[in-house]
Structure 1
Amino acid sequence: MKQLMLLLFIVMISQFSFSQIEISGQVKDQNGPVSFANVVLIDSTKTIKTYDIADEKGAFVLETEKGKYTLQVSILGYQNWEKEVVFESNQILEDILLKRSTEELDEVIIKDKKPLIERKPDRLIFNVENSVAASGGNALEALSAAPGVNVENDGIGMIGRGASRVMINGRILQLSGEALVEFLNSIAADDIKKIEIITNPPAKYEAAGSGGLLNIIYKKGVGDFWKNSTTFAYNQNKYDFYTLRNNFLYNKNKIKLNISVNGDIGNERSIETVETRYPSGPWQTNLDVKKQKDQMSGRLLLDYDITKKTSIGIQYLGNFSQPDRNDRALTNILNNTNTLDSLFRSNGKNNREINSHIYNLHMISKIDTLGRKISVDLDYFDYENKLERDFIVNTFSSNEEFLRINQAQINLSDQLINNFSAKVDVEHPLKLIDLSYGAKLSFIKTENDLQNFNTITGTPELDTGLSNEFEYNEDIQALYVRGSKKINDKLQMQIGLRLENTITKGVSKTLNQTNKNDYLKLFPTFYVSYEKNENHNFSFNYGRRITRPSFRDLNPFRSFTNSNSFSEGNPFIQPSFKDIFEFNYTYKEVLTTNAFLNITSDGYGVLFTADPDNNIQAIIRRNYYDSYVGGIGEIYTFNKISWWESQNQFFIVGYKRSIDNDIDAITRNGVQLYVDLSNRFSLSKSTKLQLDFFYSSKYRGGLYENGERYGLDFGLRQNFLNNDLKLSLYFNDIFDTGSQNNNISEINGVEVVSGQNYSRRFFRFSLSYSFGNKKIRVKKRNFGNDDERQRAN
């Protein structure tokens, strides 16, 4: 009840306003109403006091204070209208009659060439709709193509900054790891307008996520607009899969509607290698996986303008997938003379079903024409992951003679996640400062039920020692306030504070163990920018972030891969904190110097430990380190040639980590060189070519030494039928050199070398056809909203 009262309090204080009067009227010409005219009220200092855009019937409403003003009305194709006015009370004006200009335009088509990459003071914007690399792909592939974003296996993050959280239209996804990857695979890249890469998010956003935020923004139609797009894509790696998508946009009068349906069918391959170098001899494991891509997803977005100032809307995203897989693993067990002693052969089959649903109800209302507005979001998210895994591990002698069954099991797993959140955001500009504030409540509940059956005898028998029930609840209450001020024409500042109270409870019913946590933390943010002149711009920002452990990390149960390998969670893991410092200097809007420092305290993570006496490998989780990660880089944009646009990033990143004294491990501190080159060529108005290259040097960071990686990508897009038909060809990682390799760590005197390749090299062919109303009018109005969801698995 206290939490609901808090939300009501925020809503109520947002409605307080200064004494205002209301001025209304209608804009016409000799033939009747003039739609979408700009109506501006200017005070005695020649400053715009307030403004409005007339609706379809030419009507407008201005809210202002008493006084003397200049009223101006303008719209393309008409002569400007102006009049001195004095307002003392609410007033309905006589009709404003406009005269057509001598040069009349029947129709205006807007042609805007947006750059592939844009740099803003607090974020980098990757315009996906202009990317050849993303054409016909999905959201995960679009993120992979974004500059500075690293997508590897089940992890998504920024170079040198760590794991990032992902948002959809400003709403955070409560998914991570494999669950997040599966969800992003269901979103069509062709439905995405842009991706915002926010390295140090302001106080409005959740404090979670040490690696910043990646905000995926969907396309939206303009006024009097409808469009339907159908895309077919064929992807080829070791295996192949097919994609069919359809997206419908409708924007007319007060209604904005978007319906999207996507489907995939086929398979992809992943390979993992691990060599564990025990004193008695190395164990070499090769895992080959064939994973099914069958899935169907849908999206519905409906917005309705109740009045000129208030809009409500609903949004639904659903994903239904069956990522079944067949895997084979071979483990060669060698002695200290590198002679084969014995080997494990394992075969596994996963039957899996994943369903997720995201529901959103939102409202945005302009309180007045001074810029004050309020937005409210109610969100509900549910996720279910059902898994049946059947696997067997056989032991053979060095001459391939069968010795025994090492392990045979059937695992039945059911994971349920539910999240409800409610939030209010208020923008409240004042004379001295632009103020915004808000509140949020979030309730997450996850249930994990694992049943393990031993099948060595041929008859499944429940193994209670390897079965587990785990329940986790997390409640977060947050308040934030943010103020920004333009000191003068050169200097701007922004300060924000976010207060979050977190209450968690983890219950292992199998182990009869309960763990609770309750903490209240303050997260400050600070931004300052100084524009010396049009050629030199400086900015600095600071923020504090939190990384909370995932549900899987907290589950104390121990699960075995085979008799010599297991993984277990840790319910006593505490959240880690990161202080982020960032400096930017931009010269002539083409060259940016970026320097950053991230300081992590009480960091937690995964440790791949080994027992050299018993040849047992364990994957454990715990808080064990503090770290410093800093870097400096240059970002250069070349656009001096009309047919060539190039975005180039060069970064040097340094890693320094200190670990707890009780961990017998080698810390590996070092320096990484990272280069990202993206080039887009316009061979003609209808032919675009994209050539991208990245390079990551061999480097030491944390407990690992990471191998050298580089990749070359090539894409070609050809438009036909006045851009209604688009054909794209894309080759990713042509030389198959971009995957993780030669990753080395050493714990307890045992060195482990690993590598992964998750079908990074592939070819994609896509064909997209669009039809609909192609008139894009100059006179239009925009609508905006959003924020919330992430961590599972």
Structure 2
Amino acid sequence: MTHAQPAHRRSLATFALSFLTLILLAGAPSVLKAQVEENEATLKGTVLDGESGEPFEAVQVEVVRAESGERVAGGSTDLRGRFSFSRLEPGSYRVMASFIGYSREESAVVEIASDGEVVEMDPITLRVQAIQVEGIEVEAERPDVSFEVDRTVYRVDGLPAVGGGAATDALANVPELDVDIDGSVSFEGNTPEIYLNGRPAPMDGDALTAFLEQFPADMIDRVEVIPNPSARYDAEGSGGIVNIVLREGVELGITGNVFANMGTRGDLGSGARVNMMRDARSLQVGGFLRQSRRETVSTRFQENLLADPVDFLERERFTERDNLTAGMDVSAEAELREGLRVWGTARVNDEGRDNEASTLDRRLNAGRDLTFQSERLSSTDRDRTTLDGRMGVTREMESDRGDHEWSAEARWNRRSDDRFTLTETLALEEALLDADPYLARGIQDELDEARSRLTLRTDYTRPVGQETIIEMGLRSQLRDRDSNQLRRLFTGEDVDEREDTGYTYTRSFHSGYLTFSRSFGDLGTQIGVRAERTDTRFELPTGERFDNDYMNVFPTVNLNWRFDGGRQVRVSYSQRIRRPWPGRLNPIDRSDDPLVRQVGNPDLEPQYTHHARLEGRWRGGLGTLSFTPFLRYTTNEWAEIRRVDAAGVATETWENLTSTRQYGASLSASLREVAGIRGRVRLSGRREVRDSGPLDLAFPSSSFRWSVRGNASSQITSSLGAQMRVTYNPAREVPQGRRSSTIMTQVGVRQRFMDRRASLNVMIRDPFDLYDSTFESRDPSFVQLAGTNESRRAAVISFSYNLGSPGRR
């Protein structure tokens, strides 16, 4: 703990200075553009998907001389299907575009008459082609997975097993990601940062988990896994970035989609999205409503080794949770004049949750005889509202060396959380009451929490020379959280004791980045660096304050080679940070369980991760094979630690371990469609070596974990498709214990009709009811066996209809 300094005033002053810097930078692009010397010509264009008419990203594009066929430039299209090649000499050229499963297209001759000319080509359209596989002719479809320079893209439209489900179902179908029973997402055992449409999600922690469990998968277009993001992205998140891209309209006129779904476990959902595009203006409006129910039975058997003689605790807990979530978003964009666009988005989400729980505790002596029994009932009503607004401007400027782009964005986010919890203990152990006179027979908690976040950023991209692109930018953020929680304790004498368990948290954050990207023939390179300054303050109701100020520099490297024969190699490295969210810092016990204390650690420090990967991919006649070894080194990694005292009361908190080293690899195979069936299988394994440092914990210093997952899909007819997914995780060692093996299966069937505009999905999760999870933990003070007996088996039926063009193949 450090004593208070004028950190808040300093943060506001720094934030104001950064805001002034952003305004000054707004004029920089015009100055930089004026300094660009007029030189060779530029050739630009767009590639479209012939099936849907949408822009086609990651298409290989080559520029060749019309007469000799000599290759003079090459690259791939961006997310808008655009390409641009600068420093071309006057002459005649052709452009070649190709993508696996599509016909190779060649443009008409394009003439460049003079230096400094900027030529915009007519769009190039790629169409599905028939492929011969061992004498069988099949019609290829646009791949559900694409391998790009710094990310792997998975299209949700190609996953029938997620129809009618939530975002967590879509993420669970991504081979590289793991989603546990609580909805937490991990990548190679680490927590990634979740993005929406290329920006950090408007919530974090348990609020983000709840959002992903409720957000409809039918509104998602694709999921992008970015293991080592470039310096352009924030360095937050030890497991890279998972970017969820929502569906958007791309055609003039009115397009959109509507959907509705219903499940066997009380799940209901519906939503719609309408896109209106006219000339250089667009408007998108979407909304959804989702209701879900979840029932869980958990058990715990604990042996208290500090008691003499030892005693035991048996616990059985039943929980029923009902959720009702509604969301709405509006996006608008307009081109004021050529190259100048303004845009804005607004999003509101409201989640209501009712939680009913009953807990039965049974005390046993050394002979396993019952000595005491108590029952605790709790009821929670919660309402959480999230508001998120963004507005920005983008200026595109043409020059003889290529396009310059400058953008600025302001974002404001606010989340309010109101919660009321009433807990009643029907019978209470007198020994516990004697040990703690404030232990309540009844507890009433009232939470009123508000969190706000203001972010300002500016980015500038410009070409330098023939194959080099420079990106630079600044970002400033000010966030605060005011958590007011009033606890009333009703003791045996009906005395009303009040306790304030809230806190305030403030964090200011300022960063700048610089990246260089250059192509050397078939080798693409990208290096970058991001510098960040962070100032945090955590204050308790008693006035006690914990300040933490630090400066970091994060390098990134991405190298990508493309070889003949469909071979590709990608090497990447990044350093990232994961900061503890305020709930893990609060040292005040906020648990309503008299036998389990849950306290934070205000001295918890950020954890830092170095991550290096080598990814090799080969495309052949039967499909694609990839091999990915990786190494990850983390310092100050967190672990949730449980300790039990002589009275049998457990305390759960968070501690920093000294370091963790992970090294492993994954082997993936993606099979092309043969006899109507295609599929993917992924086998991954990693060894983890831990150093607990000064902590005296009883868990192994190393462990090995592996998993296998696969899916198979079949286009039974031109309009009927099916998919099955299986994931198996063997038992594994974790800090203070061991988790059991788990297996999860999922089956989906999709029927398209009405010229592929409409689809009917049936998704069955865990059809054989195989999922089961147990956890055994061990410490010098206790031995505990815990399990969660929650049936995951469910069936969901959903219907969707697309307005506008037919659905994508």
Same fold (TM over 0.5): yes
Which residue of the partner structure matches residue 655 of structure 1? Answer: 688
- Equivalent residue, structure 1, for 2:26: 11
Which of the numbers 448, 455, 476 marks the counterpart of 1:414? 448
State the shift of 1:473 in Å.
0.5
Q: Show the 5 A alignment for 1:710-749.
A: 710-739=743-772, 741-749=773-781
Query: What letter corresponds to residue 746 of structure 1 in structure 2?
Result: R
Please name the residue that 2:51 is paired with.
none
Q: How does 1:282-431 map to 2 (within 5 A)?
A: 282-368=312-398, 370-395=402-427, 407-431=441-465
Residue 558 of structure 1 contacts residue 568 of structure 1 at CA under 8 Å; is this kept in 2?
yes
Which amino acid counterpart does residue 268 of structure 1 have in structure 2? Answer: R
- Report the Cα distance in structure 2 between the residues aligned to 1:581 and 1:209, rounded to whole angstroms: 15
Q: In the TM superposition, what are the counterparts of 1:242-257 in structure 2 within 5 Å? A: 242-257=268-283
Q: Go from structure 1 to structure 2 and tell me whether the alpha carbon gap of 1:73 and 1:139 turns closer, same or farther (over 3 Å shift).
A: closer
Question: Does structure 1 conserve the Cα–Cα contact (< 8 Å) formed by 2:635 and 2:657?
Answer: no
- Say if 2:558 is the partner of 1:527: yes
Deviations 1:133-180 (A, max 9, x none): 221222222112222222224453334331111100011125333211
Alpha-carbon distance in 2 for matches of 1:109, 1:593: 28
Are 1:195 and 2:210 an aligned pair? no
Q: Quote the Cα distance in structure 1 between the aligned partners of 2:87 and 2:693.
A: 63
Equivalent of residue 226 in structure 1, options 232, 254, 265: 254
Deviation string 1:719-770 (CA, Å, 9 cap, x unpaired) is 222223311111112233335x222222233122223356632211112233
Indicate the SS of the match to 2:18: helix
Alignment RMSD: 3.7
Q: Deviations over 1:414-468 (max 9, x none)?
A: 111101111112222211622111111111100111101123469682423xx22
Query: Contact 1:668–1:703 (CA<8 Å) still a contact in 2?
Result: no
2:555 is aligned with what amino acid?
P
Q: 2:731·2:741 contact (CA, 8 Å) conserved in 1? A: yes
Give the aligned residue type for 1:355: T
Q: 1:472 aligns with which of 502, 505, 511?
A: 505
Q: Is the 8 A contact 1:507 1:515 kept in 2?
A: yes
- In the alignment, is the contact (CA less than 8 A) between 2:479 and 2:508 conserved in 1? yes
Change (3 A) 1:260 1:559: same
State the secondary structure of the residue aligned to 1:572.
Answer: coil
Correspondence for 1:599: 633
Distance 1:436 1:251 in 2: 30
Deviation at 1:291, TM superposition (A): 0.9
Residue 225 of structure 1 contacts residue 774 of structure 1 at CA under 8 Å; is this kept in 2? no
Matched, 1:461 2:517: no
Q: Is 1:576 matched with 2:576?
A: no
- Contact between 1:451 and 1:462, CA under 8 Å: does it hold in 2? no
Q: Describe the shift of the 1:310–1:680 C-alpha distance in structure 2 as closer, same or farther (beyond 3 A).
A: farther
Deviation at 1:517, TM superposition (A): 1.1
Which amino acid in 2 is paired with 1:349? S
Q: Structure 1, residues 562-612: CA drift from partner, whole Å, max 9, x if none?
A: 33321111211111111111111222261111111111111123212211x
Tell me if the contact between 1:698 and 1:706 (Cα under 8 Å) persists in the aligned partners: yes
Number of the residue aligned with 1:183: 211
Distance 2:278 2:65 in 1: 31
Is 1:609 matched up with 2:643?
yes
Report the secondary structure of 2:113's partner residue: strand
Partners of 1:22 and 1:587 in 2: how far apart? Answer: 36
- 1:655 and 1:700 in contact (8 A); partners too: no
State the distance in 1 between where 2:94 and 2:670 align. 39
Q: Displacement of 1:3 after TM fit?
A: 0.8
Q: Does 1:167 align with 2:198?
A: no
CA distance in 2, matches of 1:184, 1:588: 34
**Could you tell me the percent identity over the aligned residues?**
16
- Cα distance in 2, alignment partners of residues 721 and 82 from structure 1: 40
Whichever residue aligns with residue 195 of structure 1, its letter is: V
Contact 1:243 1:262 in 2 (8 A): yes
Aligned-partner SS, 2:636:
strand
Q: Deviations over 1:292-335 (max 9, x none)?
A: 12121111111212233222211112111211111111122222
The aligned amino acid for 1:693 is V
- Contact preservation (8 Å) 2:768, 2:793: yes
TM-score normalized by the length of structure 2 = 0.83
| Cα deviations by residue, 1:12-31 (Å, 9 ceiling, x for unpaired) | 4333121349999xxxxxxx
**Equivalent-residue separation in structure 2 for 1:74 and 1:526 (angstroms):** 29
> What is the 5 A alignment of 1:577-726?
577-588=608-619, 590-611=624-645, 613-641=646-674, 643-667=676-700, 669-726=702-759
Change (3 A) 1:63 1:693: closer
Task: Show CA shifts across 1:634-668 (max 9, x none).
Answer: 01010041622211100122121111334242235
Aligned partners of 1:165 and 1:214 also within 8 Å = yes
Partner of 2:485: 450
Residue equivalent to 2:13: none
Instruction: Name which of structure 1's ranges 74-83 and 723-732 shifts more when overlaid on structure 2.
Output: 74-83
Q: Is the 8 A contact 1:669 1:702 kept in 2?
A: no
Partner of 1:130: 158
Shift of 1:686: 0.9
2:544 pairs, out of 513, 536, 543, with 513
CA contact (8 A) 2:698 2:736 kept: yes
Alpha-carbon offset, residue 486 of structure 1? 2.0
Give the Cα separation in 1 of the matches to 2:260 and 2:457: 38
Does structure 2 retain, via aligned residues, the 8 Å contact 1:394–1:406? no
Instruction: Quote the residue 2:234 is aligned against.
Output: 206
Provide the C-alpha distance between the structure 1 equivalents of 2:578 and 2:127, rounded to a whole number of angstroms: 50
* Counterpart in the other structure of 1:788: none
Figure out how many residues of one structure are paired with residues of the other and give that number. 732
Equivalent in the alignment of 1:275: 301
SS in 1 for 2:188: coil
Tell me which amino acid in the other structure corresponds to 2:170. A
The CA deviation at 1:715 is 0.8
| In 1: Cα distance, 2:776 partner to 2:140 partner | 48
Structure 2: how far apart are the matches of 1:155 and 1:719?
A: 30
C-alpha displacement at 1:127, in angstroms?
0.6
